[in-house]
Amino acid sequence: MTTMTDTASAVREFKMPDVGEGLTEAEILKWYVAEGDTVTDGQVVCEVETAKAAVELPIPFDGTVRELRFPEGTTVDVGQVIITVGVAGSAADAPEAAPPAPAAEPAPEPAEPAAPTGRQPVLVGYGVAESSTKRRARKPVPGQAEDPSAAAAAAAVQAELNGHAAPAPQVAAVPQVAAPAPAGARPLAKPPVRKLAKDLGVDLATVTPTGPDGVITREDVRAAVAPAPAQPAAEPVRPAPAPEPVAAATADGRETRVPVKGVRKATAQAMVHSAFTAPHVTEFVTVDVTRTMKLVEELKQDRAFEGLRVNPLLLVSKALLVAIRRNPDVNAAWDEANQEIVKKHYVNLGIAAATPRGLIVPNIKDAHAKTLPELAEALGELVTTAREGRTSPGAMQGGTVTITNVGVFGVDTGTPILNPGESAILAVGAIKPQPWVHKGKVKPRQVTTLALSFDHRLVDGELGSKVLADVAAVLEQPKRLMTWS
Among all residues, which ones are annotated catalytic?
456
Q: How many CB atoms lie within 10 A of CB 324?
A: 24
Residue 56 φ then ψ, to 5°: -90, 140
Which residues does 69 contact at the CB level (< 8 Å), separation at least 6? 80, 81, 82, 83, 84
Q: How many CB atoms lie within 10 A of CB 335?
A: 11
Amino acid at 295: L
What is the C-alpha separation between 170 and 114, in angstroms, rounded? 20
What is the C-alpha separation between 50 and 64, in angstroms, rounded? 27
HEC states along 309-359? CCCHHHHHHHHHHHHHHHCHHHCEEEECCCCEEEECCCCCEEECEEECCEE
Name the DSSP class of 16: P
Amino acid at 149: S
What is the C-alpha separation between 53 and 19, in angstroms, rounded? 9
The region that residue 366 occupies, defined by phi over 0 for left and psi between -120 and 50 for alpha, beta otherwise, is left
What is the C-alpha separation between 56 and 434, in angstroms, rounded? 47
Amino acid at 475: L
What is the C-alpha separation between 185 and 176, in angstroms, rounded? 16
Buried b (16+ CB within 10 A) or exposed e, 340-362: eeeebeebbbbbbbebebebbbb
